[in-house]
Amino acid sequence: MRLYTRGGDAGMTSLFDGSRVPKDDPRVEAYGGLDELGSLLGWCRCGEIEADLADRLARVQDDLLTLGAELAMPGQTRSAAGIRLLPDEAITRLEGWIDEAVDRTPPLRQFILPGGSDASARLHVARTCCRRAERGVVSLRRIADVRELVIIYLNRLGDLLFAWARQANAADGIPDVSWTPPRTRESEERP
């Protein structure tokens, strides 16, 4: 089987049900955002991170493919195709992981600057990509049937990636760098 089909050369692509839509269709933008996020999580897994975190990132990648498949199908196609939908328990799993990560880091008292260790920086990039993907799904939901769970999952995942980024720094002994608001900076700089 060839990797290329030439079917997208005119800027169109096929949804799961075979219908053709422009490549910038909100549905394509939404599941494309999940694909991009999944790829970024693969990059996060390539860094020096704890084995448990690598396993959890792989689990999230699997979840994102499941959600992407769901988004690639117009409503009635989903039930006819008999695809597996992500269960509600996936949200509970993410919330448990958030709580674990928060317990491993100092209390958060103010905004922080993304960065620190390589692993933390990668996770922060993934977090911002997750928020963009979430916005894409919210846009799709305005015009199409999208399960609320998809948006909730992405919202929790953004929080989780933030918590994991802080956890990665803490594991490497790197403290958070607090953001100093402009007014505070100006008063500190005056003699």
What is the pLDDT at residue 81? Answer: 65
Q: Domains of the chain: which residue ranges?
A: 12-189
Task: Specify whether the CB–CB gap between 120 and 174 falls below 8 A.
Answer: yes
**Mean pLDDT for the stretch of residues 35-59:** 95
Cα 64 to the center of its chain, rounded Å = 8
- Full-model pTM: 0.90
Q: Is the pLDDT of residue 26 over 80?
A: yes
**Mean pLDDT for the stretch of residues 93-97:** 99
Domain formed by 12-189, architecture: Up-down Bundle (1.20)
Mean pLDDT score of the chain, rounded to an integer?
91
Cα–Cα distance measured from residue 105 to residue 170, given in angstroms and rounded to the nearest whole number: 6
Local confidence band at 2 (pLDDT 50, 70, 90 cut-offs): confident
